[in-house]
Structure 1
Amino acid sequence: MRLLEYEAKKILSTYSVPIPYGVIIEVNDLQANITVPVVLKSQVPTGRRGKAGGVIIVREPSDLQPTIAILFGRTIHGFTPQKLLAEELIDIKREFYFSLIINRETSQIELLANTNGGIEVEERDSEAFFRHSVDPRSFETLSDELADCLDISDKAFLLQDIIVNTYHCFINNDCLLLEINPLILTTDGTLVAGDAKITLDDAALFRHPEWHFNETPEGNNFVMLDPNGTIATIANGAGLAMATVDAVADAGFTPANFLDIGGNATPQKIMDCFRRIDTLPHVTAIVINIFGGIVRCDDVAQAILDARETFPNLPPLHVRLVGNRADRAKQLLANANIPLHSTLTDALETLS
């Protein structure tokens, strides 16, 4: 379950992570109490909103209402906002990238950071990222190392607060991803979460009766594994999805994501998966590994065909579909000249 920015920031603020002052604008809400200058942000569950025109700075009062109308009418990567976030304009000295993820190989929470934040961070060399497992027994040492890496040694104590508070947020909320991009160093020397992205584990819903977010669990689970990964994966069932990611890695490739479409995925939900993958900048191929039980293979096949029409730059597809209505799926894909592989091994062998 991927939270909208304002939802992620609300959680972070409860863990004493500094965020800009902001208010939510609903559709048709006049919001006469908003003062300029202000940053208006489209609240949609996708990245790269700035490049797509979903983030606009308004400096003149006369531009406020027209800009609100523009943003509510602007579709971002297939999503149309129902809410906008209006935030104070921050005086920025530097921007960093900061995130916590689960390292599946070490079964540890890992901190990733970069000396530069913002919309181009996915395109940077993975070697340029600071990576370190998070050990609650050594928060101070980790904050000192990160401060040195980011060249803000005098802010190590502030970084320690960020690390400690986000770690507890990550644990207590069953997070799969917690990303602050950018983490802003302001001109007055404070650290503020300029933007935030949180993905929660749908399987933990029973532990969190307080969860009432815009996006409820929809039967698919998308987790970014490596922003520079070259192979995207789609599978159904957590076990099969993990096995698919492992197989891609064992074949010598870098998996970009983990994606479990669930057992009752509809064509619309499958299309949403392709929409998310289409935003990954370095993906050169998509491996699709589906065992049709409740999921109908022909629904997946039709979604694949629809995705190729919707996203003309979609990378090559390497598809394995077996089970429920697989024969129909094979016919649909064959008519579109998309080969269907009988095993995952066969699909991976066609990767280049």
Structure 2
Amino acid sequence: MVLFVLPILWHAPATAQEEQSSITVTDIAGRKVTLKAPVQRILLGEGRQLYLIASLEPKDPLSRIVAWRNDLIQADPGTYAQYLEAFPDLAKLPTFTGQEGSLIDIESTIIRKPDVVLLNLEAMRANEEAQYVDKLASLGIPVLYVDFRHHPLENTERTIRLLGEIMDRKELAEEIIAFRRQAVARVTDVLDTAKPDRPRVFVERIGGYSDDCCLSFGAENFGRYVEVAGGHNIGSDFLPTTFGQINPEQVIVSDPQHVVVTSSDWQAYAPGGHWIPLGPGADPEILRKRLEWYLTRPAYTGTQAQKTRNFHGIWHQFYNSPYEFVAIQQLAKWFHPDLFADLDPDATFAEYHRRFLPIAYKPGYSVSLTAKTP
């Protein structure tokens, strides 16, 4: 059951009310949806949608949000602390619980009367089978599907444009898109010219979230990032879907030259786990110490990555945010350090913060045991 917490006597901060008019847009699921825009009251079906809302409304992102799922609070406590410091009323924002792909709480959604509900694409099946989308539509509450996770290199850009349109931030949306494209081109242009050999890369997904081995990515999401960054994603050889699990013996046979662990501060989910507390402001020495444990994983016994210590940790939330261009730059720097000696992913992310976000940049999103890299 989804629990929706409604604090009493709190209302979203008022925004300068712009006159609304009906517009019809196409969401990431290909649905034609009519709504009143610019939207002022948005319900976030996933808290990490804040990353984009804040990019499009940096002066006061809370002025647009009436409720959100609590996943960002638990999965990305470092970022939550930054936003809480900048916008103390965030602590009063109504929250609801649930997992990726789960139902929203329809009764509480109706109470909040949002102009639009944003749901991630993976929540589509559950909510439409429960007829929640139709029920909300009958009450004049439209639902739009967005995607940062399943096909991020295509759908993130479409999602940015979609939100730019409904929030009346089209020009800013195009600036964000241009920034992202330029950041990725700094990798792909070099690779297209140099055509280096592609190292074999194994991505261990949600390292430390559980003891399972070996969760990984197929040809999408981080699997795709690896390919764009000039590596060969081992998971793509065995997994027909975006997410899956590979037998440890198969990892050994595949003999990765690099191991990339996606992880984060998961104290809320797995106290005492082997997760790496990557995120804004993380202590680099603690990150390295936690990454060292992965060298002892039986799945990496005798691999080239183990022999050369080519083990890297990267912020897991790059898999579900508009920031994957940072991950691509960092992966490229690890895989081809000589080609990308002058590339600085931290500087790229810092510039994005300066231009588009209401919080200051703090490093801590990556760590490596390789001497030439951070």
TM-score by length of 2: 0.28
Higher strand share: 1
TM-score by length of 1: 0.29
Higher relative contact order (CA 8 A, sep 6+): 2
Higher helix share: 2
